[in-house]
Structure 1
Amino acid sequence: MNLDRAVGLFAGTMVLLSVVLTLWVSPHFVWLTVFIGLNLMQSALTGFCPAAIVFRHLGVPAGCAFS
């Protein structure tokens, strides 16, 4: 698995987790979904992704988007 796929998998997992938490724990967890969406948007516009930095330090090989 390369860095691009790892970041996508992580983002999708976090979105689904935030939806589950919103439905079953508290409606305020919708703000986690908003934060994830905003982070995805700024990553697409700027190329800066904190999750990619963490995964790179964990040794995940680089892909095309985050080289």
Structure 2
Amino acid sequence: MSVDRAVMLFAGFMVLVSLALGLYVSPLWFWLTAFVGANLMQASVTGFCPAAIIFKRLGLKTGCAFN
């Protein structure tokens, strides 16, 4: 698995978890959904993604998006 795919998998997982928490625990969890979306937009513009840095340090091979 490449860093690019790991970032997309992690972001999708976080969105689904935060939606479930927002529906069943507290609507305040929807702020996490908004944060993940904002971070995805920021990463697409700047190329800086904290999750990509962590996945690189864990030894995943780099893809074309996060070199």
- Category of TM-score, reference length = shorter chain: over 0.9
Distance 2:24 2:14 in 1: 15
Counterparts of residues 16-27 of structure 1 (less than 5 Å): 16-27=16-27
Residue-by-residue CA offset, 1:37-61 (whole Å, 9 max, x unaligned): 0000000000000000000000011
Structure 1 equivalent of residue 65 of structure 2: 65
Number of residue pairs aligned between Structure 1 and Structure 2: 67
Q: Please give the root-mean-square deviation of Cα atoms over the aligned residues, in Å.
A: 0.4
Unmatched 5+ stretches in structure 1: none
Q: Please report how far the alpha carbon of residue 28 of structure 1 lies from its aligned counterpart in structure 2 after TM superposition.
A: 0.4
Q: Which segments of structure 1 move beyond 6 Å, counting only runs of 4 or more? A: none
Distance across 1 between alignment mates of 2:66 and 2:16: 23
* Identical aligned residues as a percent: 63
Report the CA distance between 1:13 and its aligned residue.
Answer: 0.3
Q: Give the TM-score normalised by the residue count of structure 1.
A: 0.98
Paired with 2:27 and 2:3, the residues of 1 have a C-alpha distance of: 32
1:33 positional shift = 0.4
Query: In the alignment, which residue of structure 2 is the partner of 1:47?
Result: 47
Give distance in 1, aligned partners of 2:27 and 2:49. 27
The CA distance in 1 between the partners of 2:38 and 2:57, in whole Å, is 23
TM-score (normalised: structure 2): 0.98
